[in-house]
Structure 1
Amino acid sequence: MRFHHNLLQATVDALHQIFNEGKYADQAIQRILKRDTRWGSRDRGFIAETTYDIVRYKRLYTEIVGAGTVYNSRDLWRLTAVWIVLRGHALPAWEEYYNTPVRRIKGKFDELSSQLVYKESIPDWLNELGQKELGDLWAKEIAALNNQAPVVLRVNTLKSDLKTLKEKLIAEGHSTTTHDDFPDALILNERANVFKTDAFSDGLFEVQDAGSQKIAPYLNPEPGMRVLDSCAGAGGKSLHLAAMMENKGQIIAMDIYPSKLKELKRRAKRAGAHNIETRLIDSTKAIKKLAGKMDALLIDAPCSGLGVLRRNPDAKWKLTPEFIEEIKTTQQEILQSYSRVVKKDGTLVYATCSILPSENEKQVEQFLSSEAGAGFELQESQNMYAHREGFDGFYMARLIKKD
């Protein structure tokens, strides 16, 4: 494999922003990719994927090179050397790689790989938590979460269908695969920037992981229903609901961030989704006004995000035990507060992109044993794991309000 100095320099600069300046990986990479307009898709892909790989295995690579918590330029170049060597490539004859101990890198890798915290590159506290909550599943799941995530599209059935979209993408140079368990999904056979396609501009699809595509259908939405998406964010699931409801009925998409709701409006316009109304959560009055009026409620709760580490590998290094405890409190508060909007015989779906039972099953159990949850019954729940389904990790539970 031939390496280009300017691309690895860009990778080093991205790593500096992520490791030393605390920038989010996706933001740092996007900033770096704007540096040189001459870079093609292959160049840009190399920078992004190499950076993500090194972030993913930060602890392992750092231990191999013996770097500290602050990375100087030499440290960062040594991390890229480890990445190259462990992939079986010869190091380029560049000044940055002079006197690199290739044999020592391989030996140190073999030595460290017997320990899960180094092999899968995770903090000690997270490994202890994962083992405590998931037992034997933890090692399988964290290994799967270190794999690169596939690019999955969801056809927008308001404007197209799976067969038509597949053909249009082929015409634009992108081949895809369908999946029997995900009726609206197309999986890209090769990674590509699909946001530049005419099919995307025309609103024929959204990029949405297959696991995430399971959540809206879990509500059993029907045309004409009134649905509240209580933590809508930029609206991926609201858009899916709009398509399933054939633009009939009402979807109220709420969030505490105006910028996310603004993005939702932009996406809804492109998708031709006309039954979505955005509302900013700026007080408890927003919920009180809807008490007992909604046929269905989706709580896509804020969470640790451990189920989507493949897409956000730097989250391993930003998460703290304290944050997870705080977010569990928030999850229960949202369940207690928002559940009042569901009318009799209505549906509540609680979902997270976490794999921890304490954020999932335990939260539902706590809610059902509370006064606010006394009128609800758990109808069904489902866990999705990266090591089993091959997509992001998710949890969803469907509750029916009986009283």
Structure 2
Amino acid sequence: MKILPYKNLFIGITETLHNVFFENKYADRELEKMLKSNRKWGSKDRAFIAETVYDTVRWKRMIEASMGKEVAPDNLWEFVGTWFVLEDEKLPFWDEFKKISAKDVLKRNHAATDGNFAIRESMPQWMYDLGLKELGKNQWHQEVETMNLPAPTVIRTNTLKTDRKALQKNLKDQGFLTEVLSKYPDALEMADKANIFKTDAFQAGLFEVQDAGSQLIAPYLNVQPGMRVIDACAGAGGKTLHLAAMMQNKGQIYALDIHEWKLQELKKRAKRAGAQNIQTKVIDSTKVIKKMEGTADRVLIDAPCSGLGVLSRNPDSKWKLTPEFIEDIKKIQAEILDSYSKMVKNGGALVYATCSILPSENQNQVQAFLANHPEFKLVREKQLFPSQTGYDGFYMAYLEKN
């Protein structure tokens, strides 16, 4: 993107980056707060700030190598300036950029990235080594390169209120062009980045923003209207709402989560979507699961995970994750599978899903579970790789209870 030489925009960028890197805040939320508090910025200003924040977060390690030092609170302007030098942009003549030598930046960049994939593709060394070990060089390199591309915006048609063709026309009439994704029955991909949350169509509950890969998980449960379904790690309910639409508001969906605030958000979304067969329940003790043992036709376990399939959407995760977190989350996944699977009734089924591409969080977890639970059998499983689909990475396994 062409550099916009307005100092207030760079102040917005560096303040946002400070909160992401040094206050451990999430990039999308910080960006949203920054843009909300500066309503006078035009669409070009906002696009410039958003793109610069995401680019510099995504390419952090490579920029640091080109700076010759790690990013710190007192060198954020140099960090941002270095990125624009690498992008072959001419920096404004401001004091904050005076120390930057374009020649030195390019020289350091060449020396650091030549033959070093992890630096060139801006990946923490431990994460690079982990992916290499689990997926092998060719597969891992393809995934890393794909996930360094900005994520497209995909929406899911809410079939409780409209169909994809009518939604596409509705959005076109409002000036938003979309493309039909043939392999994803309810999906439309936005042609351009735009604030679609202000559209009449969104306010009326005609669609939800949901990645194309994520839209394949609810159908994987093979639900039917009238079933009793449990979404055991529902969060704010993206997949819960999809299940409600597939069940045509018939039957009962129990949306469970350990965080009450997420379920409150789900209630708001359900009201907007016209989803009327959802009941929320906070998992505040083991009794909640115990009371529901053997009652569900289907259970979705969209397990907490590393998120290593969605780095294009959440590039700041690269710098927030730790090896210790991934080891801990794998233990939690095993515990959740063991505990929540008890809610499936005889003859029912569960789907275990993650937004990771690591076998240790996916296939290995399922195999370990099956070894301890002979009453279940694996019917099918699917691994979606970003390099193959162009969208987020997901895993899903369909297990039947005999």
- TM-score computed with the length of structure 2 as normaliser: 0.97
Match of 2:127 in 1: 126
Counterpart AA for 2:128: N
5 Å-filtered alignment, 1:217-232, equals 217-232=219-234
1:313 and 2:315 correspond? yes
Distance (whole Å) between structure 1 residues aligned to residue 26 and residue 208 of structure 2 = 23
Match of 2:382 in 1: 382
Query: Per-residue displacement from partner, 1:377-396 (whole Å, max 9, x unpaired)?
Result: 10111111111100001000
Distance (whole Å) between structure 2 residues aligned to residue 196 and residue 347 of structure 1 = 39
Of 173, 180, 184, 2:186 maps to: 184
Distance (whole Å) between structure 1 residues aligned to residue 144 and residue 245 of structure 2 = 34
Distance (whole Å) between structure 2 residues aligned to residue 321 and residue 58 of structure 1 = 19
Counterpart AA for 2:133: K
1:245 and 2:260 correspond? no
- Say whether the 8 Å CA contact 2:82–2:100 is kept in structure 1: no
Counterpart AA for 1:201: Q
Counterpart AA for 2:375: G
Match of 1:391 in 2: 391
Which stretch has the larger CA shift, 162-171 or 39-48? 39-48
Counterpart AA for 1:202: A
Of 313, 332, 336, 2:338 maps to: 336
Counterpart AA for 1:388: Q
Which stretch has the larger CA shift, 200-209 or 309-318? 309-318
RMSD in angstroms over aligned alpha carbons?
1.2
Query: Per-residue displacement from partner, 1:212-239 (whole Å, max 9, x unpaired)?
Result: 0010000011101110000000000000
Distance (whole Å) between structure 1 residues aligned to residue 10 and residue 71 of structure 2 = 21
Match of 1:101 in 2: 101
Match of 2:87 in 1: 87
Query: Per-residue displacement from partner, 1:88-142 (whole Å, max 9, x unpaired)?
Result: 2222222222252112222222222221221111111111110000002111101
Of 200, 208, 212, 2:210 maps to: 208
Distance (whole Å) between structure 2 residues aligned to residue 328 and residue 272 of structure 1 = 36
Which stretch has the larger CA shift, 24-33 or 326-335? 24-33
Of 290, 311, 330, 2:292 maps to: 290
Match of 1:14 in 2: 16
State percent identity of aligned pairs.
54
Query: Per-residue displacement from partner, 1:132-164 (whole Å, max 9, x unpaired)?
Result: 000021111011111100000000000010000
Of 254, 269, 273, 2:271 maps to: 269
Distance (whole Å) between structure 1 residues aligned to residue 327 and residue 122 of structure 2 = 22
Query: Per-residue displacement from partner, 1:220-263 (whole Å, max 9, x unpaired)?
Result: 11101110000000000000000000000010000000100000
Displacement after TM superposition at 1:29 (Å): 1.5
Give SS of 2:92's match.
coil
Distance (whole Å) between structure 1 residues aligned to residue 29 and residue 81 of structure 2 = 24
- Say whether the 8 Å CA contact 2:228–2:251 is kept in structure 1: yes
Match of 1:115 in 2: 116
Distance (whole Å) between structure 2 residues aligned to residue 42 and residue 223 of structure 1 = 46
Distance (whole Å) between structure 2 residues aligned to residue 303 and residue 365 of structure 1 = 17
- Say whether the 8 Å CA contact 2:68–2:108 is kept in structure 1: no
Displacement after TM superposition at 1:69 (Å): 5.5
Distance (whole Å) between structure 2 residues aligned to residue 50 and residue 236 of structure 1 = 28
Distance (whole Å) between structure 1 residues aligned to residue 15 and residue 144 of structure 2 = 27
Distance (whole Å) between structure 2 residues aligned to residue 25 and residue 99 of structure 1 = 27
Displacement after TM superposition at 1:65 (Å): 1.0
Displacement after TM superposition at 1:22 (Å): 2.1
5 Å-filtered alignment, 1:153-164, equals 153-164=155-166
Counterpart AA for 2:367: E
Distance (whole Å) between structure 1 residues aligned to residue 232 and residue 171 of structure 2 = 33
Displacement after TM superposition at 1:54 (Å): 0.5
Distance (whole Å) between structure 2 residues aligned to residue 22 and residue 279 of structure 1 = 29
Distance (whole Å) between structure 1 residues aligned to residue 333 and residue 222 of structure 2 = 23
- Say whether the 8 Å CA contact 2:67–2:108 is kept in structure 1: no
Give SS of 1:397's match.
strand
Unaligned runs of at least 5 residues, structure 1 = none
Distance (whole Å) between structure 1 residues aligned to residue 285 and residue 100 of structure 2 = 58
Displacement after TM superposition at 1:2 (Å): 4.6
Give SS of 2:288's match.
helix
Counterpart AA for 2:303: A
Which stretch has the larger CA shift, 61-70 or 341-350? 61-70
Give SS of 1:306's match.
coil
Distance (whole Å) between structure 1 residues aligned to residue 149 and residue 370 of structure 2 = 36
Distance (whole Å) between structure 2 residues aligned to residue 100 and residue 40 of structure 1 = 29
Query: Per-residue displacement from partner, 1:274-310 (whole Å, max 9, x unpaired)?
Result: 0000011011111111111110000000000111111
- Say whether the 8 Å CA contact 2:65–2:109 is kept in structure 1: no
Distance (whole Å) between structure 2 residues aligned to residue 2 and residue 50 of structure 1 = 9
Give SS of 1:369's match.
helix
Displacement after TM superposition at 1:40 (Å): 2.1
Give SS of 2:360's match.
helix
Match of 2:151 in 1: 149
Give SS of 1:149's match.
coil
Counterpart AA for 1:399: L
Distance (whole Å) between structure 2 residues aligned to residue 247 and residue 255 of structure 1 = 21
Query: Per-residue displacement from partner, 1:355-394 (whole Å, max 9, x unpaired)?
Result: 1100000000000000xx2111101111111111000010
- TM-score computed with the length of structure 1 as normaliser: 0.96
Give SS of 2:309's match.
helix
Of 304, 307, 332, 2:306 maps to: 304
Which stretch has the larger CA shift, 392-401 or 1-10? 1-10
Counterpart AA for 1:124: Q
Counterpart AA for 1:132: K
